[in-house]
Structure formats: C-alpha cells, structure tokens
Amino acid sequence: MLILECPYCGVHADETELAPGGEAHLKRFGPGSDIDDFEGYLFMRENPKGLHFERWRHAYGCGKWFLAARCTATLEVFGTYPAQSAEPPQSIKDAITAKRPGWSWRDFA
Amino acid sequence: MKRYSVFAIAREAMRQHTGWDRAWAKATPKKKYDAIIVGAGGHGLATAYYLGKNHGIRNVAILEKGWLGGGNTGRNTTIIRSNYLQDPSAAIYEKARSLYETLSQDLNYNVMFSPRGVMMLAQTQHEIRGYQRTAHANSLQGVTTEFIGPHKVKELCPIINIDGPRYPVLGALWQSRGGTARHDAVAWGYARACSDMGMDIIQQCEVTGVRQANGKVVGVDTTQGSIDCDKLGIVVAGHTGVLADMAGFRLPVESLCLQALVSEPIKPCMDVVVMANTVHGYMSQSDKGEMVIGGGTDGFNNYTQRGSFHHIEETVRALVETFPMISRLKMLRQWGGIVDMTGDRSPIISKTPLGNCFVNCGWGTGGFKAIPGSGWAMADLMAKGEPGPLAAEFSMWRFREGKFIDESVAAGVAH
C-alpha cells in the first residue's frame, strides 16, 4: 500500500486517504495560446517508467493538494512537498540524485 | 504447418503424439525486415497476421521483450462485446467481434469463442437512460443489442440479486452475441498462423532504441542486436510511453495498473457475462469453473503489474452485493496488468510524427475484445501508410482537434 506524508498536516496517509491527481508541474496555457502548447498542457503526458512528479490531494484529511516525487517502476517515494512549489525542494532533488543519478524532468531539467 | 483436425488427433493418438509440430518456430533476427512489430501480444500478432493475409507483406518480425502473450493478453478477463455508444468505437469493436465468430476456423486454432451473452446492469435511473441511448445507437450502427428489464435479467442469470439494498437491478443492456474467448489461444493461434506465413516471432528481444534518419524510422536497436526495417509498428500497450520516448514523441497516454482475480473452481452457475458498472465489478465463469472477476484501475501511474489491495476489496464488495452466493468463495489468484489510458478512453491507431512509424495503443482496460479488429485496422494503416475507414477517427491528433471519441462519459467507468 502506498503511503505518502502530507506536507501540511504531517500525517503519514495511506492511499485510501488520498486522491491521485496526475502529473505535476504542468505549465498552464490559456486562451490564445499556440495550439501545440495547448495540446501539450491538456493532453500530452510524460508517463515515465521511473521517476514521476505527481499531484495528490489529502482528500480524507486536510483536503489540500500537494506534490510527490515517486518511482512508477518500484513505487519508491522520494518525498512530498507543497503544491505551490515551482520545482521540488533541494532536499528532495538530493534524495532522488542519491538513488537515480542523472535523472531529469522536462520542465525543470 | 500441419493442420489441426479430428483426423490429426486420431493419427497422433495412434503414434503416442510424437508427430505434433511446434506451434511456431523459434527465430533469430535477420538483418532487415519490411516491417517490424514491437510487441507479441494479441494486438501485435493480429497486426502481423493481417499484414500477411490481407496485404501480402510477409517479411515481418514480431519482437517481444518477455514471452509471447505474457502481458495484458494473458492478464485480461476475456470479455468480448461491441455495445459502444460512439460510431467509430462500435465500428471497430463490432469488426473485432464479428472476426472472433470465425477466428477458430480462420486460424485453424480453437480460440474457444463462446458467444454466451454480455449484460451490463443498469442500477440507477441515469444508467437506464444511458443504456437505452446506447441500445438505440447500436441499432443505428447495426450492432445487435437490446435493453431488457429486471425479470429478464434474473431469468438469464439466476444468481443475481436484483433487489439489492443499495442498488437494485433496474434493467440491463444485453448483447446476446457478446461473450468470452480463451485469451492465450488467441495469441497462440495468431502466432502459429504468422509463423506459418514465414514471419519471425522473436521472444526475449527487448527494443532499446529506435533508429531514424531524415525524419523516418530505419530500424531498431534490441538486446539481440540492431535490426533494420522499412516500417515500424509499436503495439506495446502499457509500455507505449517508453517506446514513444525512444522514438522521440509524446503521446496522450498514462499507464495505470488494472487488477483481476479468479476464485476457486465451482460447478457451473452462470452462463453469461455480467458487468455492474455502478458498483463497479464484472464477473463471468470460465470453462474450468473459476469465477473471473475484474474491476477498476488504480488511480496513479504505475508500471509494477501489482495493484493496491483496496481496489480488489472494492470490486469484491460490489460483486458480493450483486451475487450474494459468492460471499464464501475463496479467491485463488490475483494479478495486475499495465494499461495505457487516453483522455477519452478510446484507442490510438495512428501515424506518428516519425515517418513510417505507426502506433497502436490506448486500448486501456478494454483491449482483448478488440484484438482482431485492431490488428485488421493497424495492418491496413501500416501497409498503405494512411489510415483506412476503421482507423481514421483514432488518430493521435484527435485531441488537438477536439474530435474526441468519448467513451469515458458513455461508459462512466473502465470498460
């Protein structure tokens, strides 16, 4: 069972308490945007086999959105951080580098 | 290839079964092929088969990372139906269902197609309206379905509790020519027919890179060396994103885990397939007597082929409510498969930004029923370079054009 720590209330919540929200750090494009950007934001996904940044909501807890760094191939969790972050905090980047040297992510590579 | 027949059985019975051939030949990669299919599951093998049978392209290799039919082809709940709302879906799934009717004769391999009937229960007023709408759509599409009342449901499947406490059964969408088939046999039958046409089925050969020149694919790198090709078909279900990454484009798919489970075998008690989408579980009985059970996908991206326990719990809870007699059944096995989900829950059979590279993916939770039709349409696309009528609507660019084939709303759940 997947267990994530809510960065707001500090609860170690298992997945029955959480709602998954898909890929994190999507750059948003609104009306008037280039069609490629709009398509990319709305539909295209990284879908990696490995390190994945994703959104979660502490649905049956504080109700707030947060972000998580997780491996989709091993279900290993590298850390969670608030949804307002433009990119993961250095401590989480370091934790990932320790286990997955040379990792990258499209939007903040 | 020696044909399978009653005479072959009699002949082999006389000589202690020493004369059977291997169903398909073991192959090592050649230097170059006209077409390479990545993925020896049902869809990949069917694509190769119809490339050879319908288009005469037989210099084909089918590459498989693991073993033939060991992915979702061997992990599904074997349901076959074509009662879809949208026209493009109904067309391709009905093509597949109708090909299943004669697939055993066509392949000379018993795929055990059993058109026992599929019912989708309506347990809310909303579902009644939805399924009546689907039944009307199906009659316009030439797909035979009907909306039946609760007493007919009970007559067709006596073990259903139609007066459940939360969601009594109010009716059902009934497709009498839907049913099940033996999933492994579908893969094995296609593999045998492909091998017979001289195609190479190369197992334990993982693709590690896609080679390209001037915007066109020229070959693949694999764990068994480099292989050149004129055309490449990517038919790898859950790992489509990984292959697309090698080929240098993105797709609107995400990979999730879908679980299924079977019970201990019991005496025959149910000769139809029942899907209960409001409570979300579906069940049929295999020829061995096991109750074959499936439900919804897990919610988060996952490549591990093992899902979360609470999803099984929800599925079983739903089915115990619908079929109270199964409450004391022991479950024998549980497993997961990685399904590639698109935003509109419809597949992609499409050209790609890379020339001569084609992709067949996004079947999500409902790929098995589509195998013959999917292979038919993908072979057409690969042979001609342009999609035929079955595949035309399933382009990977339909999302940017807003031309969804929206089955997620039509079904409300995984399907």
Decide: helix, strand or coil at residue A53: strand
- Spatial neighbors of B13 by CB under 8 A, at least 6 apart, are none
**How far, in Å, are B181, B280, B344 from residue B120 at the CA level?**
18, 11, 20
Handedness of CA B103, B105, B106, B111 (dihedral sign): positive
* Closest partner CB to B254 (pick from A16, A38, A45): A45
Nearest-CA distance B121 → chain A (Å): 27
Q: How confident is the model at residue B266 (pLDDT cuts 50, 70, 90)?
A: very high
Distance, first Cα to last Cα, chain B = 37
Q: How confident is the model at residue A87 (pLDDT cuts 50, 70, 90)?
A: very high
What pLDDT score was predicted for residue B415? 47
Number of separate domains in chain A: 1
Residue owning tokens 């590298």:
A78
Query: Chain A: residue nearest B314 by CA?
Result: A16
| Inter-residue contact B178 to B83 (CB < 8 Å) | yes
Starting at the edge strand that comes first in sequence, how are the strands of the sheet with A77-82 ordered?
A: A19-23, A51-57, A65-71, A77-82
Query: Is residue B410 scored above 60 in pLDDT?
Result: no
What pLDDT score was predicted for residue A109? 53
B315-370: pLDDT as tens digits: 999 999 999 999 999 999 999 999 999 989 999 999 999 999 999 999 998 899 99
Interchain proximity B303–A72, CB inside 8 Å: yes
Mean of pLDDT values over B25-53: 97
Mean of pLDDT values over A70-79: 96
Range of the domain at A93: 3-108
Q: How confident is the model at residue B411 (pLDDT cuts 50, 70, 90)?
A: low
Residues 11-50 of chain A whose Cβ lies under 8 A from any Cβ of chain B? 15-16, 19-20, 22-23, 35-36, 38-40, 42-49
Mean pLDDT (chain B) is: 95
**How far, in Å, are A91, A92, B155, B245, B250 from residue A99 at the CA level?**
13, 11, 58, 22, 26
What's the CATH code of the domain at A58? Answer: 3.30.2270.10
Give the count of alpha carbons within 13 A of A85, CB side only: 21
Query: Chain B: residue nearest A34 by CA?
Result: B400
Query: Chain B: residue nearest A106 by CA?
Result: B250
- Spatial neighbors of B331 by CB under 8 A, at least 6 apart, are B261, B262, B263, B264, B293, B316
Residue owning tokens 């326990």:
B309
Residue B365 CA to residue A39 CA, distance in Å, equals 24
Interchain proximity A47–B310, CB inside 8 Å: no
A76 at interface of B, judged by CB pairs closer than 8 A: no
pTM score, whole prediction: 0.95
Tell me, what amino acid is at A15?
E
Mean of pLDDT values over B262-278: 95
Residue of B208, B259, B300 to mutate, testing the A interface (most A Cβ within 10 Å of its Cβ): B300
Residue B380 CA to residue B386 CA, distance in Å, equals 8
Domains of chain B: 26-82+84-109+183-252+344-411 (3.50.50.60), 118-177+255-342 (3.30.9.10)
Query: Chain B: residue nearest A1 by CA?
Result: B308
What pLDDT score was predicted for residue A108? 76
Nearest-CA distance A5 → chain B (Å): 16
Decide: helix, strand or coil at residue A8: coil
Please choose, from the candidates B297, B319, B316, the residue with its C-alpha nearest in 3D space to the C-alpha of residue B308: B297
Query: Is residue A5 scored above 60 in pLDDT?
Result: yes
Query: Is residue B1 scored above 60 in pLDDT?
Result: yes
Residue B243 CA to residue B220 CA, distance in Å, equals 11
Judging contacts by C-beta atoms under 8 Å, the chain A residues touching residue B304 are 72-75
What pLDDT score was predicted for residue B165? 86
Q: How confident is the model at residue B409 (pLDDT cuts 50, 70, 90)?
A: low
Mean of pLDDT values over B49-67: 97
Judging contacts by C-beta atoms under 8 Å, the chain A residues touching residue B399 are 39, 42-43
What's the ipTM? Answer: 0.93
* Proportion of chain B above pLDDT 70, given as a percent: 98
Nearest-CA distance B298 → chain A (Å): 9
* Proportion of chain B above pLDDT 90, given as a percent: 92
| DSSP, residue by residue, A61-93 | TT--EEEEEEETTT--EEEEEETT-SS--HHHH
* Closest partner CB to A45 (pick from B252, B300, B310): B252
Residue owning tokens 């850390």:
A79
Mean of pLDDT values over A6-17: 95
